[in-house]
Amino acid sequence: MCLPESDVRAPQTTGGKNGDITNANRLGELFDEALSILGTAGPEFKLCSDAITELKTRLTEERFHLAVLGQFKRGKSTLLNALLGEAILPSSVVPLTAIPTFIRAGETRRALVYFDNGVPPRAFEAEDAAAIREFIAQFVTESGNPKNARGVTQVDVFSSAPILRQGVVLIDTPGIGSTHRHNTEATLNFLPQCDAAMIVVSADPPITEVEVEFVRQVKRRINRLFVVLNKIDYHTEADVREATGFLKSVLADKLGFSDAHPVFPVSAQMGLNARQNADADLWERSGMHRVERHLSRFLASEKKAALSEAVRHKAAGVVEEALAQFRLMLRSLQLPAEELDRKRAFFRQKLTEIERNRLVADDLLKGDHRRTRARLEEYIDTVRAHARTGFRGIVAGALARNADTQQAENDARDALAEAIPVFFEQKVGQTSAFLREEIEAVLTPHQSRAEDLVESVRKAAASIFEVPYQPAGKAITFDIVQKPYWIARTWSTSLSPIPEGFWDRFLPEGVRRRRLQTRLDNQLEDLVISNAENLRWAMLRTVDETFRHFRSTLVTRLGETIAATNGALDSATEKRGLQEEQTASLIHEIRETIRQLENVGHSLRPPSTEATR
Ligand SMILES: Nc1nc2c(ncn2[C@@H]2O[C@H](COP(=O)(O)OP(=O)(O)O)[C@@H](O)[C@H]2O)c(=O)[nH]1
Ligand SMILES: [Mg+2]
């Protein structure tokens, strides 16, 4: 790097190199420095300091979500207990219900159970892990909550386990597999919201075809992925080596796994015993130390680096905005009174023009909102049509398979109860993907229009008052608002048992069958309508919330930028009555503040842009 000396601004108050900016502590220090400068600068800088405070909170509170996946009884819950160092999650030889458990960092051990149908969550706090485990078991086991009759949607467990303090949320997911096939779909739908996944298979039996297929699906949805081969305590060392080698070769051959997706042979059970008895040697022998190390080193640090980068970038924009305000204040103080008034009038005129542009942008946005809703409605129409054809086929299949009408009916009911949730969970995934693409295509042009609008305020001020203009680069983003985070959805599957009429039994077999078919088809139509409505309602809400959120972000950002610019001008106008000396000292003070803030801004900028500055 060869620059004239005056261009290289050595950060004086901040020191250090830009290269270590991704270090969260260093970033925290820079935020504190910006806050102390802005804190003494007057109320017109409150928005900027609020924005920095918010970024600082994000830096400490953002969480990394790791989903633990796999078939029933592979040892997912035991493995999580081992990582936590206590048996807080129920583990069992019988399958548990389809409810995800989120394990979060907390001061005390407690659990929160969420229900559907607006029932308020239930909280439970206890000293020991076993009490929490028993409490949760009432909601997540088939015996405590058969077929999820209590309508539980999610369980949150809070623990003070050290691993959680690194900013990881662990998610114990319902097992995948043929017994509850729609769990697999629900789990897959949830993955895009996770940062990483750990797949648990066991040494005995070796990985099955179903599991290979599942891993393939997972890999399509999530990059950061690793595999744990559990229950190695059943085997000799040589067997474990062989099983690990086999697993690795299957994953490499069938799914193209590389070293980026490691495989860890462990005994979760041994690991849990080791933690409960504080036996460091056993912990190593269990293989769990490698999983733990991998988690804390690789995953947590990667997430932290990405987050720091995003937060740093935003903070640099906020500092740039504050600087623009200070420069404007400085300039206004130096202007003769009439000149300042004239320029302010001109700026007000510009704002009226900008407001007109905003109304135009808003109309376009409303139109696109309507069109997106209409596109979704068309999509849901096709879902209904698919469902109808598919389910009728299932009924026809059952009728063809069974000579006995009653048996055919029972068969049809069972087959539908299995197929309906799978079908609709799949549609949730597909419709979400469709919406995501649709919304992205529609909102991207609005996003740049919105950014231009906000920047036009700053540009106008810069050109009217003849101060340098620097785009703040604080992007207006749109988040696709998908709520709730994960719901264990309930799909209606049961055809209400309308008994065959008494006289039907005396009808010829062919007529009885046709009557059954009509009866089932009518009921099917109800199921199609009510389930599709469930889907439609959730997706429409996503569309509405996303547009609403985008719109309010724009209005807020525009309002803030105008308020900040006017604040700087007001403040300068107010100070007009000051003595010449006082004005001179104020100007000196502002110059000093600008210098300090420029140093912070310089340290916040990524090293790559350093050379061009
Ligand atoms: N021998 C042995 N059994 C294990 C191990 N991990 C889990 N288990 C047992 O496997 C069964 C299922 O475990 P669980 O954690 O509930 O599996 P999940 O359904 O995948 O959550 C339980 O009886 C556990 O005690 C292990 O490493 N070795
Ligand atoms: Mg489990």
The predicted-structure confidence for 147-158, as pLDDT tens digits, reads as follows 788 888 889 999
Residues at Cβ < 5 Å from ligand 2 ion: 76-77
Which atom of ligand 1 lies at the shortest distance from residue 234's CA? Answer: 1
| Lowest mean pLDDT segment, chosen from 186-200, 276-290, 467-481 | 467-481
- Ligand with minimal distance to 75 CA: 1
Q: What is the mean pLDDT of the chain?
A: 85
- Candidate of 86, 89, 91 to mutate for ligand 1, largest count of ligand atoms within 8 Å of Cβ: 91
Question: What is the Cα–Cα distance from 527 to 384, expressed in whole angstroms?
Answer: 10
Tokens of residue 568, six digits: 């700087």
> Is CATH 3.40.50.300 the right assignment for the domain spanning 65-303?
yes
What does the pLDDT average to over 603-613?
59
Give tens-digit pLDDT for 281-297.
Answer: 999 999 999 999 998 87
pLDDT band at 17 (very low <50, low <70, confident <90, very high): very low
Residue 363 identity (one-letter amino acid): D
Residues with CB under 6 A from ligand 1: 70, 72-78, 91-93, 175, 230-231, 233-234, 267-269
- Candidate of 73, 83, 214 to mutate for ligand 1, largest count of ligand atoms within 8 Å of Cβ: 73
What does the pLDDT average to over 5-29?
49
Please count the other Cβ atoms lying within 10 Å of the Cβ belonging to residue 217: 16
- Distance in Å, CA 409 to ligand 1 centroid: 39
- Residue-wise DSSP of 395-434: HHHHHHH-SSHHHHHHHHHHHHHHHHHHHHHHHHHHHHHH
What does the pLDDT average to over 218-235?
90
Which atom of ligand 1 lies at the shortest distance from residue 71's CA? Answer: 20
- Distance in Å, CA 172 to ligand 2 centroid: 7
Which residue has a Cα nearest atom 28 of ligand 1? Answer: 231
Q: What residues does each domain of the chain span?
A: 65-303, 335-577
| Lowest mean pLDDT segment, chosen from 406-410, 494-498, 574-578 | 494-498
Burial annotation 240-267 (CB, 10 A radius, 16+ → b, else e): beebbeebbebbeeebebeeebbbbbbb
Question: What is the Cα–Cα distance from 144 to 136, expressed in whole angstroms?
Answer: 9
Which atom of ligand 1 lies at the shortest distance from residue 92's CA? Answer: 16
